[in-house]
């Protein structure tokens, strides 16, 4: 089973209606290019614009039933293509940074809000999400177990590890930041240590604080009939705007997961108690240093 993922590495528009139209047209184009799943960059509803004024911020926040979101639900059903749409979500006391993935039938498969918000920066205006989820996603090629991370989530190994423990084969990871060597290396590591694929969609160069380089890591570090290790990065986009289609070999990944020792087989969770302590540990940033 080869799943085609469309990374919609697109510039945001200043007008929400134009943003919606651009997103719909991109999904239609992705379907024409053979995509089974289309993924937007982080907070597509407003181009990752987080005003530091509460009233203005709340005016940009959308409910799950807003036309901007439901249009992609209807489109997924029409195109028979799964769509991961990202948006600033209405929530009390503060909005959420969210993604909803609709399956090929337009059903809500997963609704995830960013757990590791950048509350040392502009995202101090947001609330964090509560939990990491997985679901069995229906695509035109078959099913795949997916979970989501959003941008800064990738910096914490627990994010991908929990998703692996919940059965994830593929992580969809919307993004809005410069994808330089260290961030790309982090994605490579998450894919390697959990034997899963990670598809990341970023904004192109020219969008504030972004530079393209959307990627797919397939999680397969080596093959039994080939010497040495292999490059798990099966695709890295250039800086330019574009719709990039990447073919992910799920059969290869599933066979690899059945025969290799990463993931759950050698874990000792009974020894990891320190990971869930709330006691201060070094290195850390003192509270009065946060913005």
DSSP string, 209-274: T-----EEE------TTSSS----EEEE--SS-EEEEEEEEHHHHHHHHHH-STTTTT--GGG-GG
Return the SS3 of 27.
helix
In the three-class reduction of DSSP (H, G, I as helix; E, B as strand; rest coil), residue 105 is classed as coil
Give the closest residue to 37 by CA, choosing from 6, 10, 8: 6
How many H helices and E strands in the chain?
Answer: 6, 12
* Cα end-to-end span (Å), the chain: 47
The predicted model scores a pTM of 0.95
Domain range annotation of the chain: 2-260
One digit per residue, pLDDT tens: the chain, 291 residues? 999 999 999 999 889 999 999 999 999 999 999 999 999 999 999 999 999 999 999 999 999 999 999 999 999 999 999 999 999 999 999 999 999 999 999 999 999 999 999 989 999 999 999 999 999 999 999 999 999 999 999 999 999 999 999 999 999 999 999 999 999 999 999 999 999 999 999 999 999 999 999 999 999 999 888 888 899 999 999 999 999 999 999 999 999 999 888 877 788 888 888 888 777 677 766 555 454
Contact 8, 40 (CB under 8 A): yes
Q: Which conformational region is residue 195 in: left (phi greater than 0), alpha (psi within -120 to 50 degrees), or beta?
A: left
CATH architecture of the domain 2-260 equals 4-Layer Sandwich (3.60)
């Amino acid at each position: 089973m080869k799943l085609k993922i469309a990374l919609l590495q697109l510039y945001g528009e200043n007008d929400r209606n134009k943003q919606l139209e651009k997103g719909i047209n991109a999904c239609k184009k992705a379907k024409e290019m053979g995509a089974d799943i289309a993924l937007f960059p982080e907070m597509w509803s407003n181009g990752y614009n987080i005003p530091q004024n509460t009233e203005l911020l709340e005016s940009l926040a959308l409910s799950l039933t807003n036309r901007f979101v439901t249009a992609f639900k209807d489109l997924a059903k029409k195109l028979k293509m799964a769509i991961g749409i990202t948006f600033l979500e209405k929530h009390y006391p503060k909005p959420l940074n969210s993604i909803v993935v609709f399956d090929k039938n337009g059903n809500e498969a997963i609704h995830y809000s960013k757990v590791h918000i950048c509350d040392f920066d502009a995202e101090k205006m947001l609330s964090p999400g509560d939990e990491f989820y997985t679901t069995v996603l229906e695509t035109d090629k078959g099913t795949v177990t997916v979970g989501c991370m959003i941008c800064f989530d990738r910096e914490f190994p627990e994010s991908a590890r929990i998703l692996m423990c919940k059965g994830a084969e593929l992580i969809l990871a919307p993004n809005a930041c410069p994808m330089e060597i260290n961030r790309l290396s982090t994605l490579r590591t998450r894919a390697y240590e959990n034997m899963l694929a990670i598809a990341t969609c970023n904004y192109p160069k020219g969008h504030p604080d972004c530079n393209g380089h959307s990627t797919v890591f397939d999680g397969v570090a080596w093959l039994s009939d080939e010497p040495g290790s292999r490059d798990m990065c099966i695709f890295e986009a250039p800086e330019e705007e574009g719709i990039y289609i990447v073919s992910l070999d799920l059969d290869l990944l599933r066979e690899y997961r059945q025969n290799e020792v990463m993931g759950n087989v050698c874990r000792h969770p009974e020894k990891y108690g320190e990971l869930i302590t709330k006691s201060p540990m070094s290195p850390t940033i003192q509270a009065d240093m946060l913005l």
